Structure 1
Amino acid sequence: MGVSLHHLYDIFTEGFLPYRGAPLFFNAFWTSLAFVDLAVPLFLAVGRFRLAIVSAVGIMTLDVCINTFFAFKYRDSVYPGNIDLVAQTAFFLFVIVSAPLAWRWAVSGRQNVG
């Protein structure tokens, strides 16, 4: 959700499609994250746990792939010195590793206890 707020801040301060130095595809993708990233906490809030897990994995996979491609193609470096991409990749690995555990919990029905 914090990253969504970052993208919303960019939109409010710089206008629609605020990443002007980037090609339109990347600009549109990053702008859409302001709203798409909010889907995961929304799904969690309404009890759609499996949909939240699938969404988180999908969003993070696309985001890391697109950001890695952008860094390689336009910045001539993928990881060295790019701490944002390193942190995002670490979070992506956390999501991928924890998704099966969260899925088992979601289908077990234990989330309704309490």
Structure 2
Amino acid sequence: MTEAFNNMLKDFRARTYLSLMKFIRRTVVTKFQLRKEECSRWKIEIPPTVNKKIVEANVESRILQIVHSGEGEYELMGLTRAYTAKLNKKSYECGFWKISGVPCSHVLAGIRHILWPMWN
């Protein structure tokens, strides 16, 4: 990581701290502006990579068998393992949603079970 940072600085490394800090500030501001422009072209509210993960997890969630335990608690059985999800308490055994912020297939199966009566 240090090597990549030093490579980015190139000849600015030998300059004064003030000019080095100005260069770093300009680089960061430019990168933020480029990302802002990229985000403005999105057709949805969430990033495309996150949307792709949610769609993939949704497809995976369709093979899970759901056992509703009441009060927003579910046991979700997959091909190799069973997971518990307590949607009301935001407690999930696999922990993927808590770590990444993107719902996993287990949570999506529980959410679909809650919302299914509203869709039909």
Bigger helix fraction: 1
Bigger strand fraction: 2
TM-score (norm 2): 0.29
TM-score (norm 1): 0.30
- Asked which structure has the greater RCO (Cα within 8 Å, sep 6+), the reply is 1
